[in-house]
Amino acid sequence: MSETNFDSNPACTVHRVRETSKFAQWINRLGVYVVVAALLIIGMAVAPTKFLSLENIRNTLQSVSLMGMVAVGMSFVVYSANFADLSAPMIIAFSGMITISSIRMGFVPAFVIGVLSGTLLGAISGFVIGKLRAHPVIWTMAYNFVLSGIVRWIYMGSQIYPDVIAPDSAAVDTFYNLSRASIPIGDFSLSWMTVVMLAMIVLGQLILKRTKFGNQLKVVGSNYEAARLSGINVTGVIITVFMIAAFCFAVTGVFFASISKMGAYYNGEGYDFRAVTAVLLGGMTLMGGKGDMIGTFGGALVMGMLTNIMNLIGVSTFEQYMVLGVAFLIIVWITTISDRKLGKS
Amino acid sequence: MDGKRKLNIPRLVNEYRVYLILVLMLLIGTQARRYFTVLNIKSILDSTVLFTMIGSGFTLCMICGHMDLSVGLMANLGAIFAVGLHTLQGLPWAASIAVALLAAAAAGVVNGILVTKGKIHSFIVTLGMQFVLRGIVYIYCGAGEIGVSGDYALGDWLNHQLGGFPLTPKFLITLSVGAVLALILWKTRFGRNVYVTGGNRDTAWLGGVNTTATTIGAFAISGVVSALGGILFAIAQSSAAPNLGEKGISPLMVALAATVIGGTSTYGGKGSVWKTFVAVIALMAMNSALNIIYRKIEIQILANGLILAAVVLYETIVAYFAGKKAGARAQLLLERKRQIAEPSPR
């Protein structure tokens, strides 16, 4: 949206184009997909046969599906200028555990209960941040702490297994298959997880760019006071944002529990910061109201492809942390600079 | 802020709430058996070593208006380098500790430069720095624990009890570091600059404060202090693990809890390292009491989280009603807070 503004304002263009390089504009327009393309080239150079094989593409997509789902939820929070929802790990763990605990009722009711309870947890965050205006990072961190205490206290810090809770039940098999089944497309097949992630990204993009709520969210994210004074129900918008985010985390939680075949308080550990990384790589800024879901998908892809390429080369897991951190800082830095040069921030 | 302010009991209570919470925790302690023994008090004070230092660094950055998420990993870095360089490379303790502190200072300076010169939000910078430091730590130690083999002299000295008092050298070191930091913040020009920069960066810059140097300094000190906490913790334990101190609760969480309970403003410009220090002692006193009474770590974690959430909620609700009372000025207040929270072009 800001790009069209930039183009349609001739005074601005004439003034700025002279002093900014074409390169900066270019980078800004394409965003994270420049990095995706670069990684594609690097990958093809490193392992020409392996990298573009259907199997590898499928695996890369699958490896980012869980993080992609979390990132979709996180995108809404970042877009609304509320920094990040750091209670993601415990919502992931909690919804997974609730689903497993209620698996005896059958698969569908358990799934619905798990996702609903996770979403409700998000509504509490939304109320405290939207209505009472708590600092989002501080509150969600504190909330994560409380939830972790509650979950550990309820289950006394132990793991729970669906086949122990409901032995010889068809629901358990369905639950296990949830993350293992795949949909064949020609001679190619996509796992359900990937499909759900892609659906979430498309839906998220539609909500952000094509609905009334999305437009309101953009105003709230860009300038909270302006949104409030122009009559937008800011509290409602922020509560909805946190509920959407928690919904995405909860769905992730059910899939995570299905993959690991158990529920434990440490299930979602690390997903908060990794999802924020993906979102920020995708071109959103902490100031809100900028970027879109396609970018977030690109961010998740970059993280998956980086890991994939480093695995193909044989870089150890520990060195991957460092490469990821440095790449993240550099990419965000370049984005910031190009934004500044183009006068967008 | 009227000139002739009377004795305002609620405000006083709020300002000194951390001492109140400490007394409350000690009251819980009266319910626990053998709580007020020298040995137990010593173990409470010993358990604060890592968290007070991390909390001090976190608080300092928060007063300066930034969020340093990398403090936990800084402590890890310090611990791994100090113990590793001594054990694996055979450096003397003084040299290995100096190298570890320098490494943390360098990481802190990089944080500061990226925040001030790169103009990236501190949340993002320290988030990235977390990954980088974790990578460095894991590469150096190869994901294993590094033990101090044979050379326990320094560790024993740090752990020995001084006379009949419940004090150990390692606690006294952190106490003096905390006191020095508090003095720096209260009495020196740098300290005042930190407060002014955190309060409003633009005003500070217009008022002639070198905000860049102040911010970089705050990040560097935060790194060094956190690393010192990690070093003391690791040497006293005679081993350094890459997931230092993360037995159940991440150190970052405790640092955040102590900072908020100690009354540091989450928007910067207000707070005290000393109160963070006391808050950590209060939390550890509570943990010890709960540990004696219930013997379950889950209950400790829940209690820690509930206290943190209660304090955050209390502050938020007070601010909410104050904003309602202030009426039209509330939006000005919020707008000001937002301006501080967001990085502005100088």
Predicted model pTM: 0.87
Query: Distance (Å, rounded) from C-alpha B262 to C-alpha B274?
Result: 8
Identify which has the larger pLDDT, B253 or B100: B100
Encode pLDDT of A106-149 as tens digits.
899 999 999 999 999 999 999 999 999 899 988 998 999 899 88
Across the range B217-241, mean pLDDT stands at 92
pLDDT of residue A7: 45
**Is B64 domain-assigned?**
yes
- pLDDT at position A236: 95
- The angle that helices A88-101 and A234-260 make with each other, rounded to 10 degrees, is 60
Residue B73 in domain: yes
Pairwise CB contact (< 8 Å): B302 & A149:
yes
ipTM: 0.85
**pLDDT value for B188:** 94
Q: The tokens 């969480």 sit on which residue?
A: B253
B12 found inside a domain: no
**What's the domain range around B268?**
21-341
Residue range B6-18: average pLDDT? 79
* pLDDT tens per residue across span B78-136: 999 999 998 888 888 999 999 999 999 999 999 999 999 988 889 989 989 988 998 99
**pLDDT score of B340 more than 60:** no
> How open is the CA angle A284-A289-A291, to the nearest 5 degrees?
35
Asked whether residue B213 is domain-assigned, the answer is yes
Query: Is residue B346 one of the residues assigned to a domain?
Result: no
**Does residue A34 form part of some domain?**
no
Determine, for residues B129 and A329 on separate chains, whether the beta-carbon distance falls below 8 Å: yes
Check residue A14 and give its pLDDT. 45
Whole-number pLDDT of residue B295: 81
pLDDT at B147: 82
Among residues B47, B35, B337, B43, which one has the least CA distance to residue B200? Answer: B337
| pLDDT confidence bin for B345, thresholds 50/70/90 | very low
pLDDT in tens, A165-214: 888 788 888 888 888 888 887 777 888 899 999 999 999 999 999 999 99
Residue type, position B231, single letter:
I
Q: What is the Cα–Cα distance from B198 to B66, expressed in whole angstroms?
A: 8
> What CATH number is given to the structural domain containing B194?
1.10.3470
Higher pLDDT, B250 or A119: A119
Residue A11 counted as domain residue? no
The count of domains in chain B is 1
The pLDDT confidence band at residue A13, using thresholds 50, 70 and 90, is very low
Single-letter code of the amino acid located at B78: G
- CB-based contact A133 B334, cutoff 8 Å: yes
Beta bridge partners of A182: A191
Query: Which ranges in A18-135 belong to alpha helices (H)?
Result: 22-30, 33-46, 48-51, 54-79, 88-101, 107-126
Q: Report residue A345's pLDDT band, with 50, 70 and 90 as the boundaries.
A: low
More confident residue, A29 or A286: A286
Q: Judge whether A7 lies within some domain.
A: no
pLDDT at B106: 96
Report pLDDT for A344.
Answer: 64
Instruction: Show the domain range for A93.
Output: 63-291
d(CA B201, CA B206): 9
B184 touching A (Cβ < 8 Å):
no
Give yes or no for residue B331 having a pLDDT over 70.
Answer: no
Q: CA of B336: which chain A residue's CA is closest?
A: A225
- B296 interaction partners in chain A (CB closer than 8 Å): 156
How confident is the model over A238-281, as pLDDT tens digits? 999 999 999 999 999 999 999 999 998 888 888 888 899 999 99
Interface contact A145-B257, CB threshold 8 A: yes
pLDDT tens-digit profile of A1-12? 344 444 444 444
B264 in Cβ contact with B278 (< 8 Å): no
Residues A309, A64: contact at Cβ < 8 Å?
A: no
Q: Which residues of A touch B312 (CB under 8 A)?
A: 134-135, 138-139, 142
Rg (CA), chain A: 21
**How many H helices and E strands in chain B?**
16, 2
For position A2, what pLDDT does the model report? 42
pLDDT for the residue A297: 93
Structure tokens at B282: 């209060």
Interface residue B114 vs chain A (CB under 8 A) = yes
Q: Which of B123, B124, B317 sits opposite A132 (nearest CB)?
A: B317
Q: Is residue A329 part of a domain?
A: no
Determine, for residues B298 and A156 on separate chains, whether the beta-carbon distance falls below 8 Å: yes
Look up residue A244 and give its amino acid: I
In a domain, A158, yes or no: yes
pLDDT (0 to 100) of residue B245 = 55
pLDDT at B2 over 60: no
Q: What is the pLDDT of residue B111?
A: 94
Q: What is the pLDDT of residue A11?
A: 46
Is a pLDDT exceeding 60 seen at residue A59? yes
pLDDT at B339 over 70: no
Report the helix count and the strand count for chain A, using DSSP H and E. Answer: 18, 2
CA distances from A289 to A28, A209, B104, B345 (A): 16, 11, 35, 18
Distance (Å, rounded) from C-alpha B25 to C-alpha B21?
Answer: 6
Residues B21-28 have a mean pLDDT of 90
Mean pLDDT, residues A203-228 taken together: 93
Residue B239 DSSP one-character state: E
Backbone angles phi, psi at A117, to 5 degrees: -65, -40
Q: Which token pair is B10?
A: 């609620």
Mean pLDDT of A312-328: 87
The yes-or-no verdict on residue A237 having pLDDT over 90 is yes
Single-letter amino acid code for the residue at A184? P
pLDDT tier at A20 (50, 70, 90 boundaries)? low
- Specify the number of domains making up chain A: 1
pLDDT value at residue B161: 85
Task: Determine the Cα–Cα distance for residues B229 and A90; give it in Å rounded to an integer.
Answer: 28
pLDDT of residue B6: 65
State the helix-helix crossing angle for A212-222 and A54-79, rounded to 10 degrees: 70
Q: What is the pLDDT of residue A269?
A: 83
Q: Is B7 a member of any domain? A: no
Mean pLDDT of chain A: 86
Average pLDDT over residues B158-186: 91
User: Measured between CB atoms, does B257 come within 8 Å of chain A?
Assistant: yes
Q: B120 by DSSP, 3-state: which?
A: coil
Confidence (pLDDT) at B343: 47
Mean pLDDT of all residues in B322-337: 63
Report the pLDDT value the prediction gives residue B329, as an integer from 0 to 100: 54
How crowded is residue A162: how many other Cβ atoms within 10 Å of its Cβ?
25
Question: pLDDT at residue B182 above 80?
Answer: yes
- CA distances B22 to B17, B74, B102, B309, Å, are 8, 28, 35, 17
Nearest-by-Cβ selection for B298 from A149, A277, A328: A149
Within 10 A of A135 (CB to CB), how many other CB atoms are there?
A: 23
The answer to whether A276 touches A74, Cβ cutoff 8 Å, is yes
CB contact under 8 A, B139 and A228: no
Q: Of B134, B301, B303, which is closest to A321 when you measure between CB atoms?
A: B134
Which chain B residue's Cα is nearest to A142? B309
